[in-house]
Structure 1
Amino acid sequence: IVSNVLNSVESFPFEKKPLGRALSFLPLNHIFERMVSYIYIHSAISIYYAESLEALGDNLKEVKPMVFCTVPRLLEKVFEKIMSKGAELTGIKKKLFDWAVNLGLRYNNRTSNGMVYDVQLSLANKLIFSKWREGLGGEVQYIITGSAACQVRLLRIFNAARIPIYEGYGPTENSPVISVNRRGKDGAKFGTVGPVINGQEVKLEPDGEICVKGPSVMMGYYKRPDLTAEAIKNGWLHTGDIGVFEEAKFLKITDRKKELFKTSGGKYVAPQPIENKMKESPFVEQMMVVGADQKFVGALVVPSLPNLRNWMRENGIEFTTTSEALRNPEVLKFYKKLIEDFNVFFNHVEQVKKFELLPEEWTIETGELTPTLKLKRKVIMEKFRDRVAR
């Protein structure tokens, strides 16, 4: 862990700021937040602990952090809340909000969109995005995200709004960081987890599995030499993640090896890229792609109820209960069209042919999410096996 802390600091240095503040709210028993806490201490940054996830919004405004670590699901929640408030605006305020969002979605940190765009974005930051920054305390210089893939559109729009988000990657078994996007010219590329940090050696197996060697690789699994022998071979930790290098520098995760499934036709499907793409819709809160040993790919979809209610109201459809709404023929027709529109981004085998709408959001408390808000796929499959069977 110490070697990973030192190598991470060397690769992504924080300014030593005795008056700098970090807000911590991820579980400290998970390696990501624990290791980053050591980085804060090393960098003389004070750590403030959030009261709860529910109080996070108030704590951000109170603490005014310079830095915090998060997971993509929480960034999605923040964005959804911003967009929900934007939808309530009217007149010129609504037009300005939509204009700023569209500018943000075009942002590219590696190429210029031209002088006119830069002037417009500067104006959008003054009129609209400044309020977004205030909502996060107004002093954020770094947000580090990991644990799962972050939607590229969120990276674009938040960075355009001068809310710098840096996506990184690493498993617990590596203590954990393998790579991270960073500040500076050519230090970051949206959609990747950045360059490999100092002290790590990375290679890709023929099937794309990411393997890492270095001082931060674990000694082994506690009292499980069998599992250790499977994971570490000749000093190389086999992460179980599939990836590629872009521009021979930026590591991009394409999926978890264990999450790949094969259809009855013998074709492999990677669920995460499909889920992440479809969650770009404001009407999709959560989603899990299924289809192992089946003829086609299906999906369990948790709709965004606030946005669905608004859509129903705008289309003259009465909302009574959530269950009734999700059985409404017009709602089903709407989601069928939504999924079909996203299917064009995938090949025939990967396209979602059937779906089920679920009324309750998946949470840590109800058992479908891990403490870092990742899907517990086996739990969800078992819990909704009747729905999947349809």
Structure 2
Amino acid sequence: MRKGSKHVEAALLFDKVVFSQVKKGLGGKVRLILSGAAPLATHVEAFLRVVACAHVLQGYGLTETCAGTFVSLPNELSMPNVDVCLESVLEMVYDANSSTPRGEICVRGNTLFLGYFKREDLTKEVMVGGWFHTRDVREWQPNGSMKIIDRKRNIFKLSQGEYVAVENLENIYGPF
């Protein structure tokens, strides 16, 4: 696939001989695996593609954006159903205008929610100029896809002025 072959052409022999039993264990007709809720690590996605002999698509969305805001397509990178932009998060040193654009994901379109029920204050906090601020931070990849790299809502500022990401601490000190 890295050399330009589509998934179905990349490893026909291995799919039929080596991984057919895994595919059979999944029902024998798996063509597509859709993952959401959290980004898959690259090695996990590659593993699933190989052993399941199927496309692995990743989706991104929130309740406020009617779930599937972005869903990758097999052998395609575009996701045309909403407008999206990055907004710099300078306190976290993410610059949407840098050579590697990084920033908070902002979304607008007809699929967005109208507001939080009886919570106009929260709605005003996340809806700015028609854009929904997701509080998720992403990076545009060189191939045009996006990668979630941080969460703005899980950053805490210490009394010394330093910002700390909870996920990093959980990964280091979490359950063993």
Q: TM-score, normalised by structure 1?
A: 0.37
Q: Does 1:111 align with 2:3?
A: yes
Aligned pairs for 1:81-100 (under 5 A) are: none
Q: Which residue of 2 aligns with 1:134?
A: 24
Match of 2:14 among 120, 124, 127: 124
Q: Does 1:300 align with 2:174?
A: yes
How far has the Cα of 1:232 moved from its partner?
A: 0.6
Checking the alignment, whether the CA contact within 8 Å between 1:261 and 1:268 is kept in structure 2 is yes
Alpha-carbon distance in structure 1 between the residues aligned to 2:80 and 2:132: 17
Q: Which residue of 1 aligns with 2:44?
A: 154
Which structure has more strand as a fraction of its residues?
A: 2
Checking the alignment, whether the CA contact within 8 Å between 1:170 and 1:177 is kept in structure 2 is yes
How far has the Cα of 1:267 moved from its partner?
A: 4.0
Q: Does 1:205 align with 2:100?
A: no
How far has the Cα of 1:235 moved from its partner?
A: 0.7
Q: 1:234 to 1:110 in 2, by over 3 A?
A: same
Alpha-carbon distance in structure 2 between the residues aligned to 1:240 and 1:160: 33
Alpha-carbon distance in structure 1 between the residues aligned to 2:22 and 2:68: 29
- SS of the aligned residue for 1:134 comes to helix
CA offsets, 1:82-109, max 9 Å, x none?
xxxxxxxxxxxxxxxxxxxxxxxxxxx3
Gaps of 5+ in 1: 1-108, 189-194, 276-287, 290-297, 303-390
Which structure has more helix as a fraction of its residues?
A: 1
How far has the Cα of 1:299 moved from its partner?
A: 0.8
Checking the alignment, whether the CA contact within 8 Å between 2:57 and 2:72 is kept in structure 1 is yes
Q: 1:246 to 1:135 in 2, by over 3 A?
A: same
Q: Does 1:241 align with 2:136?
A: yes
Structure showing greater radius of gyration is 1
Checking the alignment, whether the CA contact within 8 Å between 1:255 and 1:271 is kept in structure 2 is no
Output the aligned Cα RMSD: 2.5
- Paired residues in the alignment total 158
Q: Does 1:172 align with 2:63?
A: yes
Q: TM-score, normalised by structure 2?
A: 0.77
Checking the alignment, whether the CA contact within 8 Å between 1:259 and 1:271 is kept in structure 2 is yes
Gaps of 5+ in 2: 90-102
- SS of the aligned residue for 2:125 comes to helix
Aligned pairs for 1:31-46 (under 5 A) are: none
Aligned pairs for 1:268-347 (under 5 A) are: 268-270=163-165, 272=167, 288-289=170-171, 298-302=172-176
Q: 1:265 to 1:123 in 2, by over 3 A?
A: farther
The residue type paired with residue 243 of structure 1 is R
Q: Percent identity?
A: 34
How far has the Cα of 1:270 moved from its partner?
A: 3.9
Checking the alignment, whether the CA contact within 8 Å between 1:176 and 1:216 is kept in structure 2 is no
- SS of the aligned residue for 1:255 comes to strand
